[in-house]
Amino acid sequence: MAHPLDHLPILRMNGAGNEILVLDLRGSDHELAPHEARAIANAPGLRFDQLMALHRPRRPGDDAYIRIYNIDGSLSAACGNGTRCVAYALAREGKAALRLETDAGLIETRRQADMVFTVDMGRPRLGWREIPLARAVEDTREIALDPPVAGAPARFCAVSMGNPHAVFFVDDATHVDLEALGPRIERHPLFPERANVSFAQMLSRDDILLRVWERGTGATKACGSAACATLVAAARAGLGERAARLRLPGGDLHIEWRADDHVLMTGPVEFEFETRLDPQIFQGVVA
Ligand SMILES: N[C@@H](CCC[C@H](N)C(=O)O)C(=O)O
């Protein structure tokens, strides 16, 4: 039997090394289920960090509504690198500036150069309920990781960019054991919706080395929303400026926390290939 996703167009891209699929669902009313996202991730050549499902706009004036999936099928309300890839996909249709609806609100993008895009990621959310944390915390700039995780710094800063981030400032981000600490902090009882986990090393006040363990995906070469959260955390903690270069394993992002409270992320995208979903992907796939 035919599946509603059979033969739909899909772009394989990366944003600073973050592996992204852009699935065009604008011609369909189908909403991707978590098990279908996982089936696509298992298809040859289609493994992704995030899948950006592009839907027809639901409000006048918007260009699209996007839903964002991690490799485990879970949904996120924000994905900075994936949003730049969506901006590229729609730039091919002649749109240099976009209004995109996400589950975290309106996101605007602008093309800066052929393969460089800026995303207005909106305002950071800094209250414990918005992040969310499991218990009341007066000052989200410095939170005790309680109960402690062996090998992890004792304190972190929490920021939501539409998705939850825990940022740890360390002296040496390169040698942090991400595979050991990441999953334990991601699922720490302090985070009722789990968390993206960042280890940041201040190289100077406007130059930050960053490694990220992503909720629902694992270690990635770059995470745009984590870069934004880290810049905000550094500025709030008095460690850094409101504009900085964030160095990630897959490339650099430039982040600015503007006076109007919006966080702007600028970075590169790469187009890898375009294909259509093979009907075999969904044969025998069950929820
Ligand atoms: N890679 C993304 C973040 C994707 C979502 C994240 N894993 C979550 O579940 O919150 C980015 O570039 O922001």
Which single residue is written with the structure tokens 């995780």?
A: 149
Q: Is 225 inside any structural domain?
A: yes
* 90/157 same-domain check: no
**C-beta neighbour count of 154 within 10 angstroms:** 12
Residues 104 and 43 reside in one and the same domain: yes
| Residue 102 within a domain | yes
**What is the residue with the minimal CA distance to atom 2 of ligand 1?**
79
**Catalytic annotation present for 157:** no
Does the beta carbon of 225 sit less than 6 angstroms from any atom of ligand 1? yes
Range of the domain at 177: 143-261
Contact between residue 215 and residue 182 where contact means Cβ atoms under 8 Å apart: no
Does one domain contain both 42 and 149?
A: no
In a domain, 237, yes or no: yes
Q: What is the pTM of this model?
A: 0.97
Q: Which of 79, 85, 157, 228 is catalytic?
A: 79
Domains contained in the chain, number: 2
| 162 labeled part of a ligand binding site | no
Q: How far is the CA of 220 from the centre of ligand 1 (A)?
A: 10
223 and 249 housed in the same domain: yes
> Is the beta carbon of 214 within 6 A of some atom in ligand 1?
yes
Residues 130-171: tens digit of each pLDDT:
999 999 999 999 999 999 999 999 999 999 999 999 999 999
Contact 261, 128 (CB under 8 A): no
CB crowding 215-235: b at 16 or more within 10 Å, else e: bbbbbbbbbbbbbbbbbbbbb
CB 230 near ligand 1, within 6 Å:
no
| 93 and 31 in a common domain | yes
- Measured from the CB, is residue 50 less than 6 Å from ligand 1? yes
**278 with 255, same domain?**
no
Q: Does residue 221 fall inside a structural domain?
A: yes
ipTM metric: 0.99
- Domain harbouring 14, CATH code: 3.10.310.10
Q: Is 198 in the pocket of ligand 1 (CB under 6 A)?
A: no
Q: How far, in Å, CA of 121 to CA of 107, rounded?
A: 6
- Co-location of 200 and 273 in the same domain: no
Same domain, 112 and 170: no
Looking at the structure, do residues 176 and 104 belong to the same domain, yes or no? no
For 261-279, the pLDDT digits (tens) are: 999 999 999 999 999 999 9
Class of residue 198 by CB neighbours under 10 A (exposed 0-12, middle 13-18, buried 19+): buried
| Tens place of pLDDT per residue across the chain (287 aa) | 789 999 999 999 999 999 999 999 999 999 999 999 999 999 999 999 999 999 999 999 999 999 999 999 999 999 999 999 999 999 999 999 999 999 999 999 999 999 999 999 999 999 999 999 999 999 999 999 999 999 999 999 999 999 999 999 999 999 999 999 999 999 999 999 999 999 999 999 999 999 999 999 999 999 999 999 999 999 999 999 999 999 999 999 999 999 999 999 999 999 999 999 999 999 877 77
Separation of alpha carbons 155 and 167, rounded Å: 9
Cα 167 to middle of ligand 1, angstroms:
14
Structural domain contains residue 2? no
Residue 71 near residue 43, CB atoms below 8 Å: no
Q: Say if residue 80 carries a ligand binding annotation.
A: yes
* Distance of alpha carbon 60 from alpha carbon 267, whole angstroms: 28
Q: Is 225 annotated as a binding residue?
A: yes
Q: Are residues 170 and 102 in the same domain?
A: no
205 and 172 housed in the same domain? yes
d(CA 240, CA 260): 18
Atom of ligand 1 nearest to the CA of 18: 1
167 and 252 share a domain?
A: yes
Helix 80-91, helix 224-236: angle, nearest 10: 130
Q: Tell me if 163 is assigned to a ligand binding site.
A: yes
**Residue 3 within any structural domain of the chain:** no
Q: Does some domain include residue 135?
A: no
Q: For residue 51, list its beta bridge partners.
A: 21, 69
Cα–ligand 1 centroid distance for 214 (angstroms): 6
Classify residue 205: in a domain, yes or no: yes
